[in-house]
């Protein structure tokens, strides 16, 4: 089911920060933390209403199956729209792995973060599960 179709990445005001301008604006602890700290910080915010960040390293999908190497990769993001930190939500995006190593994978994740930030700015919430195909993002039934 094609729910969201986004062809261009967003022009989010703040990108790839460790100290969140959205949290600072709302008088909250602004230092962001993630499950895996040894990876590039990929984060987005408009500075007032929301933040979105890559929560963990990208993982092969489906990681629990013993079927060998897969072409799909999963990326987990955390986001918050509004000021209530207890309302932080998670989502997962599946995408085809780019060839050319980790740098290309992180470029793909940067694009995904831009698309998700644009959707979050427009709709104030996101789905739980997406599949990225080219420059299209499809919401998957959960």
pLDDT by residue, tens only, the chain of 142 residues: 444 544 444 556 888 888 888 988 988 888 888 777 778 899 999 999 999 999 998 988 875 656 556 678 999 999 999 988 788 999 999 999 877 778 889 999 999 999 999 999 999 999 999 999 887 889 998 6
Which 8-state DSSP code applies to residue 84? -
Amino acid 125: pLDDT: 95
Amino acid 39: pLDDT: 82
- Planar angle of CA 12, 18, 21, nearest 5 degrees: 50
Whole-number Cα distances in Å, 51 to 8, 48, 75, 85: 19, 9, 16, 11
Which 8-state DSSP code applies to residue 135? T
Torsion of CA 99, 74, 117, 12, to 10 degrees: -40
Give the pair of three-digit tokens for residue 134. Answer: 């080219």
Amino acid 70: pLDDT: 64
Amino acid 11: pLDDT: 56
d(CA 51, CA 116) in angstroms, rounded, equals: 10
Beta carbons of 48 and 35 less than 8 angstroms apart: no
Amino acid 92: pLDDT: 96
Beta carbons of 61 and 78 less than 8 angstroms apart: no
């Amino acid at each position: 089911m094609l729910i969201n179709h986004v062809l261009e990445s967003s022009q989010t005001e703040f990108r790839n920060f460790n100290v969140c301008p959205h949290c600072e604006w709302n008088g909250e602890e602004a230092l962001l933390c993630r499950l895996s700290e040894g990876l590039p910080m990929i984060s987005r915010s408009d500075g007032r209403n929301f933040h979105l960040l890559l929560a963990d390293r990208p993982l092969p999908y489906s990681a629990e199956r013993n079927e060998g190497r897969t072409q799909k990769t999963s990326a987990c993001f955390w986001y918050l729209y509004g000021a209530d930190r207890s309302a932080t939500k998670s989502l997962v995006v599946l995408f085809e792995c780019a060839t050319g190593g980790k740098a290309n994978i992180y470029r793909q994740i940067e694009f995904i973060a831009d698309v998700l930030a644009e959707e979050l700015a427009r709709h104030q919430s996101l789905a739980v599960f997406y599949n990225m195909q080219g420059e299209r993002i499809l919401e998957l039934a959960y």
